[in-house]
């Protein structure tokens, strides 16, 4: 399935180049610890603390990254539980998950066009309430950050929990709502969308609920530092000067400092604000840190942040189509983004993401309603225009059933469209769907 998606995007599998050792010094960082019983130890985990003094256990160093069964057996002999570096836990968890190549638990049986349409119309009103509350909350929070006031972090957690509820129930509605965009309100909307996409991606990776909530909070707060950047620079329509770009890049540091000074905010949320522009090859910003210092949360937010930024209109450029954005992400795998997570993200989103606009071979425009689990190149769509682009009464069609148009021509998708490539008010369309529920 993944190879067919890559082929469609125009890429051929390539051999991985050997990774060069980084010449940059490794910056010290605060270790987030996780307590686990020794029965749960596995290779790749880094043990940073024991349930007894290190001197009671015959190991050479007071920190050990497990590389063999013998090391596991040694710790099991002397300890009942240990504390491991949370990043190593997440890395092992995700790697083991990907190695098993299981189907994501959220994938449900393919829906008929009528079922997909009804399901969306039923879920949209509930999801819209949460989406609107999240948008209002983030707008208020951003203004509080700009004024250097205390932010309502408990309110943020509550809304993230509601988003998790909605996505665990059916992520399709939230995906649709994340298509509502206003370039004049980019930062707040972007934060909400990144939070939603991060939760959905975490669900695809089968992360437990507490980690989905933490991921959602990382996404919603990752760009708060932009409120500390002069708005005339942030919203400049033309190219930035070198000095202006330096100032914009400071939003990562400013966001981290604000969240750290605020107090009561999980360390990982703070570091996601700090690290979401760091890259696997050590050439990101603000610190150019090496990949081993980037947690799984950091790596997920980096991917989701980049994807949403690419497909969104900005004051200085138009957004690109989802397929072009995925192609850009794939090009950056291993160098800019975690290669395993990139592959999984492309699998989750698919070539034709829910809510994306597509043009068919007969000139009709359609909106993707749902993805066919076993054939992501032939989703369920809703036709919204005739071949001459005039509006028609929406009609749901399952492309995997090989439907034909009025002339007997088999319908197929030519390509995805950026939201700005066609005169189609997606927000009004979503509101119409919601109103028809």
CB 107 within 8 A of CB 348: no
Model pTM? 0.77
pLDDT, one tens digit per residue, over 191-202 is 999 999 999 999
Q: How confident is the model at residue 230 (pLDDT cuts 50, 70, 90)?
A: very high
Using the predicted structure, report yes or no on whether residue 109 has a pLDDT greater than 60.
no
Least trusted range by pLDDT, from 99-108, 350-359, 428-437: 99-108
Domain ranges of the chain: 33-100, 113-349, 357-435
Q: Which of 45-54, 111-120, 368-377 has the highest mean pLDDT?
A: 45-54
Q: How confident is the model at residue 106 (pLDDT cuts 50, 70, 90)?
A: very low
Using the predicted structure, report yes or no on whether residue 251 has a pLDDT greater than 50.
yes
CB 300 within 8 A of CB 202: yes
Report, in this order, helix, strand and coil percent for the chain, each rounded to 5: 50, 10, 35
pLDDT, one tens digit per residue, over 260-284 is 999 889 999 999 999 999 999 999 9
Q: Please tell me the predicted confidence (pLDDT) of residue 145.
A: 95
Greatest CA separation for the chain: 81
Residue 47 CB neighbour total at 10 angstroms: 27
Q: Which residue has the higher pLDDT, 45 or 109?
A: 45
pLDDT, one tens digit per residue, over 156-202 is 999 999 999 999 887 888 888 887 777 667 888 999 999 999 999 99
> Which of 351, 419, 411 has the alpha carbon at shortest distance from 11?
351
> Which of 382, 347, 295 has the alpha carbon at shortest distance from 101?
347
| Average pLDDT of the segment spanning 72-97 | 80
What is the CATH architecture assignment of 113-349? Orthogonal Bundle (1.10)
Q: Please tell me the predicted confidence (pLDDT) of residue 80.
A: 92
HSE-CB at 412 with a 13 A cutoff on CA atoms is 6
Using the predicted structure, report yes or no on whether residue 210 has a pLDDT greater than 70.
yes
Q: Please tell me the predicted confidence (pLDDT) of residue 94.
A: 65
| Average pLDDT of the segment spanning 397-423 | 87
| Average pLDDT of the segment spanning 360-372 | 89
Q: Please tell me the predicted confidence (pLDDT) of residue 1.
A: 54
Q: How confident is the model at residue 35 (pLDDT cuts 50, 70, 90)?
A: confident
Q: Please tell me the predicted confidence (pLDDT) of residue 116.
A: 66
Using the predicted structure, report yes or no on whether residue 18 has a pLDDT greater than 80.
no
Q: Please tell me the predicted confidence (pLDDT) of residue 396.
A: 87
Return d(Cα 82, Cα 41) in angstroms, integer: 9
């Amino acid at each position: 399935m993944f190879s067919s998606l890559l082929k469609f995007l125009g890429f051929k599998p390539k051999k991985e180049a050997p990774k060069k050792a980084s010449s940059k010094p490794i910056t010290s960082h605060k270790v987030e610890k996780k307590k686990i019983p020794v029965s749960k130890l596995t290779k790749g985990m880094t043990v940073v603390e024991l349930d007894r003094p290190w001197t009671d256990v015959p190991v050479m160093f007071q920190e050990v990254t497990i590389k063999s069964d013998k090391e596991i057996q040694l710790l099991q002999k002397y300890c009942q539980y240990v504390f491991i570096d949370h990043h190593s836990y997440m890395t092992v968890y995700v790697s083991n998950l990907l190695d098993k190549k299981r189907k994501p638990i959220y994938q449900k049986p393919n829906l008929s066009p009528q079922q997909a349409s009804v399901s969306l119309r039923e879920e949209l009103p509930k999801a819209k309430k949460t989406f609107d509350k999240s948008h209002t909350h983030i707008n208020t929070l951003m203004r509080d950050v700009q004024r250097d006031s205390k932010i309502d972090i408990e309110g943020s957690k509550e809304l993230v929990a509601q988003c998790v509820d909605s996505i665990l129930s059916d992520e399709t509605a939230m995906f649709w709502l994340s298509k509502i965009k206003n370039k004049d309100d980019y930062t707040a909307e972007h934060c909400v969308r990144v939070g939603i996409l991060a939760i959905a991606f975490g669900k695809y990776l089968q992360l437990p609920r507490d980690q989905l909530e933490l991921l959602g909070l990382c996404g919603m707060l990752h760009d708060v530092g932009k409120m500390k950047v002069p708005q005339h620079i942030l919203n400049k329509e033309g190219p930035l000067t070198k000095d202006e770009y330096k100032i914009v890049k400071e939003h990562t540091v400013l966001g981290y400092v604000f969240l750290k000074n605020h107090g009561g905010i999980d360390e990982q949320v703070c570091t996601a604000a700090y690290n979401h522009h760091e890259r696997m090859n050590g050439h990101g910003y603000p610190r150019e840190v090496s990949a081993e210092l980037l947690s799984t949360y950091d790596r997920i937010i980096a991917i989701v942040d980049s994807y949403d930024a690419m497909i969104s209109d900005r004051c200085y450029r138009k957004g690109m189509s989802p397929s072009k954005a995925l192609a850009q992400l794939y090009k950056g795998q291993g160098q800019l983004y975690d290669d395993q997570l990139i592959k999984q993200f492309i699998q989750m989103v698919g070539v034709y993401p829910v809510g994306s606009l597509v043009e068919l071979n007969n000139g009709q425009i359609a909106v993707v309603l749902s993805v066919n689990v076993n054939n992501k190149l032939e989703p369920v769509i809703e036709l919204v225009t005739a071949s001459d682009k005039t509006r028609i009464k929406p009609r749901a069609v399952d492309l995997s059933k090989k439907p034909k148009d009025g002339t007997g021509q088999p319908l197929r998708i030519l390509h995805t469209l950026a939201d700005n490539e066609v005169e189609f008010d997606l927000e009004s369309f979503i509101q119409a769907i919601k109103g028809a529920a």
